Amino acid sequence: MQAENYDVVIVGAGVAGALIGARLAQAGVKVVFVEAGPRTDRDSAVNRYRAGSYPYESPEWAPQPTVSDLDYYYVQTGPEKFGSDYERRVGGTTWHWLGNCPRLLPSDFQMKTRFGVGHDWPLTYDDLEPWYGEAEKELGVAGDSKADVGSPRSTPYPMPPIPLASGDAMFADAAKQLGLTLVATPQARNSVDGYQDRKICCGNAMCIPICPIQAKYDATVHIALAEQAGAKVLENAVVYRVDVDSDGKVSGIRYKSPDKSDHTVTGRTYLVAANGIETPKLLLISKSEATPNGVANSSDLVGRNLSDHPETSATAYAPKPYAGTRGPLQLSGIDQVREGDFRDKRAAIRLQVAQSVGNPLQLARTYIQEQGLSGKALFDKIAQTAPYQVRLASMTEQLPNPANRVTVDDQHVDALGIPRPVLSYAYDAYSQQGKAAARTLHQQLMEGIGAHDVTYEEGFHGVGHLMSTYLMGDDPKQSVTDSFGRTHDHPNLYLAGSGLFPTTGTANPTLTIAALALRTAAQIAHELGVINVATPSASPVTSPVASPEASPIATPAS
């Protein structure tokens, strides 16, 4: 079959690929997205969820991991099982992400210099700060611009913060007694009606796995903008090879359709933005005479340093009704614990107050099975417990470890014959020490609100943050790409996503993914000779800045 030719070929239609594709398509660049999974009909997905099923089906041709069965798609070699999943569909994992959008701290970019651990990034916080502001506009982030959370800003959030729940006030008072401040967590969901033509959040409390009204941002927003500008989306197209010429330039990508037929797409510039596991998997299986170790892998770092934000939690019963499950799943957190000189010895944490702990059905099963309750006794017990449940959760940072990695093995393949990701993963002492600090803080806060029957999570669980598997850096021997995501080995191949992160910090990665993606889009446009791509204006960085009024905001130019 004759190859289709484009200016830019983007593998993956998640947030990074969507932002880059939309910016370029709107500037007149001929763009194609090649996505392994299908489009998703929101109403059908919501109905599946309401009927008791997971809203997104896992296609046979593009299987995806699930936390309910960590061996379903992953090949886990230990010593720990990697506990995070993702979506393979148009829009990517933004379909089921939480929506939290904190920025990294300035020190997160200089871990080696500041604390003697990890790596320094090839760019600074100040380099990325204008792009953070641009990303917040594109994703539609609601936040408190007056709050000083350690990340200086030159522009206000585009929307005011989501109001905190009454239950957050309990923990705010307890935090204050410890010299800490509970602040609104910035979120990519509408706190006013009409931003990006999206609806205001109405508190369905089902952000994970799906926002039924698209108050929460997902990448289909920018896929739609790209298509309106002429971009093409090839869905159900599973890329299995990146072709490289003898001169080191990428010459095409190959994909399989669900019927196993082969196709090729070619372009001038290529971008792989699949995620922190699918991207290295694709690069590693693309071996040839020109790339015997896989594409972009002369450093042997593709797939290495697999990281997450291991999370630990505490659950309890408050002395008065908490009134949760009336808004997003998390509304507030404590940012002061993200920073400190202790980071030379242990992980920083970011504490979050959860709005959704369990549900009456789960409690009912427990009381029926363990206590034999029924009838009025069961009803009264649920009424006495369900409204009082509270939960604290803390994400910890994880240092880069080359032994934590994604590899491939031809003995483990999917329905199309494409190798599945083989994962080797462990938690380090640095993160374990962070977990100990988190437990102490959880205990202090639970005591501060007078909670009882506190249960502390013994281990960690994954939070869906797939990071550091194709590091950016200045030295081609110590990194896979430069600061723009351009691979050191192949001048016309870029990578995007949180796999670029040299270190993880304690911020949910999506906003940083978006800021880097917008910066990469401008660089690709420059190389293609396109001059009409939006870039942020240089403004003095200050903190805090004035907040916008709580009133409808017009859709921003993209």
Domains of the chain plus CATH, in order, are 4-528 (3.50.50.60)
Check residue 548 and give its pLDDT. 45
Give the CA distances from residue 297 to residues 284, 303, 421, 468, 477, in Å, rounded to whole numbers and listed in that order: 8, 9, 17, 14, 10
Mean pLDDT of 339-360: 89
What does the pLDDT look like over 91-102, one tens digit per residue? 999 999 999 999
355: confidence class by pLDDT, cuts 50, 70, 90: confident
Check residue 359 and give its pLDDT. 66
Percent of the chain with pLDDT over 70: 94
Give the CA distances from residue 374 to residues 296, 358, 365, in Å, rounded to whole numbers and listed in that order: 61, 20, 10
Residue 453 CB neighbour total at 10 angstroms: 11
Check residue 243 and give its pLDDT. 98
Among 202, 210, 198, 203, CA closest to 50: 210
Check residue 321 and give its pLDDT. 86
Residue 257 in tokens: 């359709």
What does the pLDDT look like over 181-229, one tens digit per residue? 999 999 999 999 999 999 999 988 889 999 999 999 999 999 999 999 9
Check residue 358 and give its pLDDT. 65
Check residue 558 and give its pLDDT. 31
Is 356 a residue whose pLDDT tops 90?
A: no
Is 555 a residue whose pLDDT tops 70?
A: no
Residue 276 in tokens: 């922190």
The mean pLDDT value of the chain amounts to 92
Check residue 74 and give its pLDDT. 97
Reduce the DSSP state of residue 83 to 3 states and report it.
coil
Dihedral over alpha carbons 20, 24, 30, 35 (to 10 degrees): 10
Is 549 a residue whose pLDDT tops 90?
A: no
Residues taking part in catalysis? 465
What is the sign of the dihedral through the CA atoms of 159, 160, 166 and 168? positive
Is 545 a residue whose pLDDT tops 90?
A: no
- 394 - beta bridge partners? 312, 351
What does the pLDDT look like over 237-268, one tens digit per residue? 999 999 999 999 999 999 999 999 999 999 99
Percent of the chain with pLDDT over 90: 84
Reduce the DSSP state of residue 140 to 3 states and report it.
coil
Check residue 481 and give its pLDDT. 98
Radius of gyration of the chain (CA): 23
What does the pLDDT look like over 124-140, one tens digit per residue? 999 999 999 999 999 99
550: confidence class by pLDDT, cuts 50, 70, 90: very low
Among 159, 183, 155, CA closest to 169: 183
CA 352 to chain centre: 16
H or E element, residue 173 = helix 166-177
Is 162 a residue whose pLDDT tops 50?
A: yes
What does the pLDDT look like over 19-69, one tens digit per residue? 999 999 999 999 999 999 999 999 999 999 999 899 998 899 999 999 999
Give the strand pairing for 452-456 and 349-354.
Answer: unpaired
Which string of b and e fits 319-355 if b means at least 16 CB within 10 Å?
eeebebbbbbbbbbbbbbbbbeeebeebbbbbbbbbb
Give the CA distances from residue 31 to residues 89, 226, 515, 556, in Å, rounded to whole numbers and listed in that order: 18, 8, 20, 22
Mean pLDDT of 171-180: 95
Q: What ranges make up the beta strands (E) of 181-249? A: 182-184, 232-234, 238-244
Alpha helices in 332-453 (DSSP H): 360-371, 375-385, 429-449
What does the pLDDT look like over 70-80, one tens digit per residue? 999 999 999 99
Among 68-77, 228-237, 376-385, the range scoring the smallest mean pLDDT is 376-385
**384/35: higher pLDDT:** 35
What is the sign of the dihedral through the CA atoms of 329, 334, 335 and 338? negative
Q: What secondary structure does DSSP assign to 352-374, as a single string?
A: EEES----HHHHHHHHHHHH---
Ramachandran area for residue 150 (φ above 0: left; ψ -120 to 50: alpha; else beta): left
Is pTM beyond 0.85? Reply is: yes
Q: What ranges make up the beta strands (E) of 160-209? A: 182-184
Say how far apart CA 383 and CA 74 lie, in whole Å.
Answer: 41
2: confidence class by pLDDT, cuts 50, 70, 90: low
| Locus of tokens 């909670």 | 451
Is 344 a residue whose pLDDT tops 60?
A: yes
Mean pLDDT of 321-332: 81
